[in-house]
């Protein structure tokens, strides 16, 4: 049985990934931070193994690694999905906002990957899939810190793909457009209609549609360093 670790698996895109990987026969390790009830529900539904850890805290990540490594061995697929967003004018972004954004979206991905890649390198196989955003590709107004962090995810993906290719490990990234999850709960009906109009497919994406792309990247041994847009055509 192959092992997948999904960070931020308790809600939204991560949760959809948990169900998708479970359907494909993977043992799912479901990292979460605050949403314990949601994580328990997914455990009951699909037998996922929930692990509470704030990915921005290196000690909690080391504990998560030790638990998985000692009891189950190596992770075959790592999905670096956990993330936060914030909409703010650039001039209103504080140092704390900036640090928080980078601590979770970039440093967290770095901490988690650094722990779990060790076993992948020893085994000379593994798949790492990072979740960026279309704003990391194009830049989003009033989301400078989010866009900068998501652009960093792309740079991280491409560099690591080059470095780890010789070790048999692929590193890719999915770049979602506007997906119907809690992260977009702040959007008004009017905002949603405007976004739908700007999207050739004419609607928001579903978390399951992003999970399909993640699963696809996990199935390939020859795609690496790629940024796969899943956005209904809003950015082409
Ligand atoms: P979401 O519904 O808000 O869910 C976020 C998930 O991340 C939750 O499971 C949350 O866990 C987890 N998380 C947040 N901070 C964490 C931390 N410090 N440690 C561990 N887990 C943490 O968001 P989503 O829409 O599914 O987004 C998932 C990823 O896709 C993010 O990286 C996001 O930037 C990216 N993305 C989303 C969209 C979109 O339109 N929705 C578009 C582009 C990219 P708890 O609830 O347990 O704390």
211 lines ligand 1 (CB under 6 A): no
Indicate the average pLDDT of the chain. Answer: 98
Per-residue model confidence (pLDDT) at position 119: 98
Per-residue model confidence (pLDDT) at position 193: 97
145 lines ligand 1 (CB under 6 A): no
Per-residue model confidence (pLDDT) at position 67: 98
Residue 3's DSSP bridge partners are 27
CATH number of 3-230: 3.40.50.720
Distance 126 CA to ligand 1 centre (A): 23
Per-residue model confidence (pLDDT) at position 27: 98
């Amino acid at each position: 049985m192959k092992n997948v670790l999904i960070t931020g698996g308790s809600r939204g895109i991560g949760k959809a990934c948990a169900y998708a990987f479970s359907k494909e026969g993977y043992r799912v390790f479901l990292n979460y931070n605050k949403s314990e009830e949601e994580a328990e529900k997914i455990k009951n539904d699909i037998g996922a193994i929930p692990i509470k850890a704030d990915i921005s805290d290196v000690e909690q990540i080391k504990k998560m690694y030790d638990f998985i490594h000692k009891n189950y061995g190596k992770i075959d697929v790592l999905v670096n999905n956990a993330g936060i967003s914030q909409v703010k004018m650039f001039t209103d972004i504080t140092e704390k906002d900036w640090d928080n954004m980078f601590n979770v979206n970039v440093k967290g991905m770095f901490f988690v990957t650094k722990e779990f890649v060790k076993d992948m390198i020893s085994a000379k196989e593994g798949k790492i899939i990072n979740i960026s955003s279309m704003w990391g590709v194009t830049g989003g107004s009033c989301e400078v810190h989010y866009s900068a962090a998501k652009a960093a995810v792309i740079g991280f993906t491409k560099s690591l793909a080059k470095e780890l290719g010789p070790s048999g490990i692929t590193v890719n990234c999915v770049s979602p457009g506007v997906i119907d999850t809690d992260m977009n709960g702040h959007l008004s009906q009017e905002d949603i209609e405007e976004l739908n109009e700007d999207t050739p497919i004419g609607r928001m994406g579903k978390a399951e549609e992003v999970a399909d792309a993640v699963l696809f990247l996990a199935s390939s041994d020859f795609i690496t360093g790629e940024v796969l847009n899943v956005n209904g055509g809003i950015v082409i």
